[in-house]
Structure 1
Amino acid sequence: MADPVLLEVAQDGVATLRLNRPAQKNAINLEMRPLMQRLITRVARDPAVRVLILAGSGGSFCAGGDIRDMAQLGAGAGVDGGGDAAPDALAGEAARRRMRQTGEVALAISTLDIPVIAAVSGPAYGAGLGLALAADLVLAAPDAEFCASFGRLGLVPDFGLHLSLPRRVGIARAKEMIFSARAVEATEAQTLGLVDALHPAPELEAVARRMASGFARHSPTALGLSKALLDQSPTLDLRQVLEAETAAQALCFTTPHHAEARRRFLARSPEAGPRT
């Protein structure tokens, strides 16, 4: 059987994490969570990887969590334990462990020190919506659909959606999407700010790769520092931002990328002198 999650690393520094259960529209099952965690950790530790693309196989991004797994949890099946513990208690403990794993995956992706691009075709439902919004940029095909579908199952959103969704669309719109659990088509998603750009499905991953390759040519130090500053900026005041920029820029001045860029500029325009 094919692995349910694949990691492809190209020579240009662009990696693709691909969910690979096309028959299930790439729904995330229990096996996939620790595998995703291991692969993302590998990406984080590999200095050759400059950009990560999130994608799905078979024309789907991710239909959310696998409901078959949820049914097992509800029945208390597949839970380590014993004694006289009630099935509901066992199911609750298993669900807690499952959600801890989900949170670890969301955190690992969101805190990567490199740009992350989601390429969304077909459904991005539930945890699939959370996975897409863990990325820095979301590109989508016209057939993409986004849905905070948890209410349909009597659940609350996970995968960090209580943070990432309102950051994208605002508190009021996030509440409307969560309370209604309605599907949002690609054109509306772009209008709301869920999607940054739409591209035809056959071209979507190629566009994401071109974008990623462009990012990969820039200084990983500068990109990582800018990403961290932008992620922190909603909680900082101007003075704090300026102090953080000062420290980050001082570090960037010492990098080989800056030295090489400065050398190339001066070689082209020796009369101009150094400029920023």
Structure 2
Amino acid sequence: MSQPESALADAQAGGRAPESLAALAERYGLRRAIARPSMPAYLRQLWDRRHFILTYATSRSVSKYSESALGQLWQVLTPLLNAAVYFLMFGIILGQSKNIEHYPAFLITGVMVFTFTQRTVTGGAKSISSNLSLIRALHFPRAALPLAYTIQELQQLAWSMGVLILFVLATVQKITWLWLLIPVPLLMQLVFNIGMSLFMARIGAFVRDMNQLLPFILRAWLYASGVFYSITERTADQPEILRWVLEFNPAAAYIEFMRDLLIYERFPERWAWVTCLFWAVFALVGGFWYFWRSEERYGRG
């Protein structure tokens, strides 16, 4: 018999009022197994489970298209088909291709970059609610799940970036030293996506209708991010505040940064660096703190 159980039995045998379970636990230094750890301890737990996170993400990535005939090719075909539809609607029918230099490369860059964030947000929103059996069966830091979903999308982005670079080479046909900076916006966007995935994971865990609302929110975000039009040109006759708000949009900032490096041979302006870095740090710190605060509640009820 353990010490707390022995103390409880002695109190009952002696006719004394037994201590509360909380008081007994405090006396003997016991704590709840699901109690939220401190932030440093939580980070250490995530690091200790890094191999689990990577393996889980890889297995999900492999199994996602395992039942389709084309398999992993859909990782590339999906954004390409989306780009083809947008090119037909906006490039040809609405005539955007006449006003924007290298419009096919302009468009596919926007689609690829935005899709990375879009998929990560969608996966993060359902990462907790779709894995309740795993959460209730095993004890591990719950942030491992949205992190795994983000890594899964990063693995798929590697395929998309390969196709994007080949497409730019075939249309723009220029390689410059600025291409060496391509990992920089991708890293900042990855950090931003991690924060957004954690943020949406908590919301998706407790707001059951979020998965129904999210496609509409993401569609509005897509239209506001300059994926298939130039924000500068479209807002030329509008109030300056409108252009500022659209350019401060994180998705638009990452897209513009990548276009400058890949297509237009421009070193990104200071506002682009500041905006991309701000959103990366803000999303990671805010999203991680917001998710960690509810660590004890995931999978309960």
- Shorter-chain TM-score above 0.5: no
Structure with bigger strand share is 1
Given the two structures, how large is their TM-score scaled by the length of structure 1? 0.24
Structure with bigger helix share is 2
Q: Which has the higher contact order (CA 8 A, sep 6+)?
A: 2
Pick the structure with greater CA Rg: 2
Given the two structures, how large is their TM-score scaled by the length of structure 2? 0.23
